[in-house]
Structure 1
């Protein structure tokens, strides 16, 4: 007949062994998954987005001037019935066709895109409008 303490110790060791194996598999599995993810990221090509950059100082005067241009164009006959990105494109072309060509024409805005070029567009508009007023 076996000693009850020996049987309890054996069960305890089995339970601990099982738990340690599960912990090991979880940790190892996580590291393995992370390794595959980082390998995917290393193989992914990063693309740097280049576009003409115009300095834009966010002053109340510049913001007011830009908002006036924008409001006028949003309510123009050409743009008023459009929605979403089509309205944005129409409005920006109306504000300054030349700035739109410089900044957006080679890679048009798409629905849902975060517009990282807006401040550059505003800078172009403000610079060109102030240059035209000087002449």
Structure 2
């Protein structure tokens, strides 16, 4: 009887190890350019104003294609840096948005006299 218990525990342990190996091998580490963004009312207002202006040029689009159209309009170079190689997909949480805003604000500040 003790041998049977040991075998069951060993099989359970091996199955657990195999499951962990499978799960850990499927993990993808996602990296992208990061631009610091300070969420101030001034920065948010500026971003929203440009975003609203760009939405007019993306009227026929919906969902993620509209989001990407607006981001391209806001800043083609920031869009290229953050989204072109790995586009957002429907339902994906956009972890790059703050970096996009940071990139945009940096560009805006550089362009001011």
- Check 1:128–1:36 CA distance in 2 against 1; reply closer, same or farther (3 A cut): same
Displacement after TM superposition at 1:75 (Å): 1.5
Give the root-mean-square deviation of aligned CA atoms.
Answer: 2.1
What 5-or-longer segments of structure 1 have no aligned partner? Answer: 1-27
Report SS of the residue matched to 2:112.
helix
Query: Which of the residues 28, 31, 52 maps onto 1:47?
Result: 28
- Check 1:63–1:47 CA distance in 2 against 1; reply closer, same or farther (3 A cut): same
Match of 1:20 in 2: none
- Check 1:65–1:38 CA distance in 2 against 1; reply closer, same or farther (3 A cut): farther
The 4+ residue runs of structure 1 with deviation greater than 6 A are none
Match of 2:48 in 1: 67
Displacement after TM superposition at 1:115 (Å): 0.4
Give the distance between the partners of 1:106 and 1:38, measured in 2 at CA: 35
Q: What is the TM-score with the length of structure 2 in the denominator?
A: 0.82
What 5-or-longer segments of structure 2 have no aligned partner? Answer: 1-7
Match of 1:123 in 2: 102
Give the distance between the partners of 1:56 and 1:106, measured in 2 at CA: 22
Give the distance between the partners of 1:60 and 1:89, measured in 2 at CA: 24
Give the distance between the partners of 2:68 and 2:86, measured in 1 at CA: 12
Give the distance between the partners of 1:98 and 1:51, measured in 2 at CA: 14
Bigger Rg, structure 1 or 2: 1
